[in-house]
Structure 1
Amino acid sequence: MKKKLSLTGLIDLDASTIEVGRLLAADYLAIGTLSSYDQEILTFESYGATTEKLTASITGDIRLANTTTGVVERAASFAVSHEEVLLGMKTPNQAQILRTLLEKAFQNALPELLKAEAQKEAE
């Protein structure tokens, strides 16, 4: 909770970022920061067959910034993980794993940010 509060109210958007939001006709822009990325592959052998299990995780935060003022009005932290069984000679697709993790992060954090913003505007 302390981190959420410390990230709000910051004016940390440069002019080009604000301009992108305006060109998109967006009132707000969601900006994310990754703090960590971890990946581990565990190998299991049974009856002469080898199976690998990949576990990957990321942590970070997402900020909701007003494109008119450049002020970060809401922030949320996230920690998400993804597991995948690698069968046979399959090698992990790093880009797809990161994309999956980022999708999970946004799916978890954005509804919280938007709900808080809607409540603020209703007041």
Structure 2
Amino acid sequence: MLRSRGLRLTAQRQLILEAVYELGHATPEQVHSAVREVAAGVNITTIYRTLELLEELGLVTHTHLSHGSPTYHRAGADQHVHLVCRSCGTVTELDPALLEPLARQLEERQGFSVDIGHVALFGVCRQCGERE
């Protein structure tokens, strides 16, 4: 995909893409930590620029799971809703089919098309709820 756009698949780009795929959901800082274990010379600016490029190419996507940095994950057919526990920070993936009735209603009533891959619902997970 990179070559078709006149770009090279550098070792750094490959490491960053692999880190996102391996980590599942990761901030640029987490990707940076993973990449630095293999290639200490990769700086955070390179991570951010490469993540933007990989998103433009449709290889990764991001969502906002907190007030901090965006969280990147593999793009593709496995779209999912993110459930984020405000207590422990756990991120759980939810089948987007559960939101499809709401998405259809929003489309019909408001003309608004929901990007399911960017949906994050915040609350308290079962384990934290039981502890409280």
TM tier, shorter chain? under 0.3
Structure number with larger C-alpha Rg: 1
TM-score, length basis structure 1: 0.25
TM-score, normalization by structure 2: 0.24
Q: Higher strand share goes to which structure?
A: 1
Higher RCO by CA contacts (8 Å cutoff, separation 6 or greater)? 1
